[in-house]
Amino acid sequence: MLKSKNDDNKIFDSIRNTYVVKTPEEIVRQKLIYKLVNELNFPKNLISIEKDLLCLPYLKNKNLNLLKRRADIICFAKNIHPRYSLYPLLMIECKADKFTKDVIDQVLGYNFYVKSYFVAIANKLETKTFWYDQKNSEYKSVNFIPKFENLIREVNV
């Protein structure tokens, strides 16, 4: 599953196709990438790691301070948005530590700009996926990441 380099300080990132420093957060990220691709059917070619938010086409020309940030993982999907052929389906923040209200607020705050349909937070013990319920004007969540096809189905309802 996770290939380590000989020096044991690096871990292989199959999306970026390179070895990266093996931090606690990176271990969470790599285990999650493996699960996304091999168990939840997310297309590997639609996953972006540490994506600079300014690279998103609809945010490119905006003057927003928050956008000097990067998203840990963005899973894109094709043809889910009326104006963009490729659009964020799921944005994920990986953490080495427990979730706090501040962490959840940070991720949901990023999504104010990114406008991904779903947002998730993951650490080594738990995962939580959020979405905005328009009808009730509030965020809802589940304690897992749904399969790719289930998220697509929800967007296309």
Domains of the chain, each with CATH number or no CATH: 45-155 (3.90.1570)
Give me the pLDDT at residue 60, please.
Answer: 62
Mean pLDDT along residues 15-26: 92
pLDDT for position 36: 97
Stretch 131-146: mean pLDDT: 92
- Looking at every residue in the chain, the average pLDDT score rounds to 87
Summarize pLDDT for 50-94 with one digit per residue, the tens: 877 767 766 665 655 555 677 889 999 999 999 888 999 999 999
Question: Which residue from 52, 97, 99, 98 is spatially nearest to 72, judged by alpha carbons?
Answer: 52
Contacts for 8-12 with beta carbons within 8 Å, 24 or more apart? none
At residue 112, the pLDDT reads: 83
pLDDT at 78: 95
Please, which pLDDT band fits residue 113 given cuts at 50, 70 and 90?
confident
Phi, psi angle pair for 33, to nearest 5° = -60, -45
> Which residues are paired to 21 by β-bridges?
10
47 three-class SS: strand
**Which pLDDT does position 129 carry in this prediction?**
97
Contact between 58 and 84 (Cβ < 8 Å)? yes
